[in-house]
Amino acid sequence: MADSSRSADTKGARGWSTGTKVLLGVVLLIIVIATLAVFTLTIAVLDTTTGTALPYTTTYKVTLPDGEPITIGSSHILVMSYNNEMVTDVDGTKEKLVVGQERVISPRHARITVMGVPVFETDFQITLTYLGSSGGTADFTMTVRTSNQVPELVLRHLIPPDMNAQPA
């Protein structure tokens, strides 16, 4: 009897079983690959010339800092408030907006790669609807229309943190 307890103690002192080591190795490998995937996620945004249908819609409430440029995809946006109007400059094209008015940004094509391998492509178009100004920011509803269902993680990667995007 003492011999069998010594054998159990010796096994515990030796470490984990082979199955546990393999399972731990697989879990560790999955964690490393997932971490690499998140850190190597890139989105290349290109102009699009096709009239692709955009059936998928996601809407956010966003704020844009007054007088500070923001980049969404490859579009550069600058908003400047004056009295009850908002002047938007999107890629060098200026337009005045009043509350409730929309600003449609030209359609684009996005190619998403992970670890250098293309995994997803979609056409998209962004529409900003001016809601008014508060303090040093301009409030907008931002509607993103896409040709394919886009995972939330990818959309979040496209929207800069300065916009304080909240799902609407």
The pLDDT tens digits of the residues spanning 104-115 come to: 988 888 888 888
Give the amino acid at 30: I
Domain residue limits, the chain = 2-39, 43-167
Nearest to 64 by CA among 75, 77, 82: 77
- Give the Cα separation of 21 and 157 in Å (integer): 35
The alpha carbon dihedral of 42, 117, 25, 151 has a sign of positive
Give the global pTM.
0.71
Question: Which pLDDT value is given to residue 10?
Answer: 47
The set of residues, in sequence order, having a beta carbon less than 8 Å from that of 71 and lying 6+ positions away, is: 77, 160
- Residue 67 sits at φ, ψ, to 5 deg, of 85, 5
| pLDDT digit string, tens, across residues 45-62 | 777 766 788 999 999 999
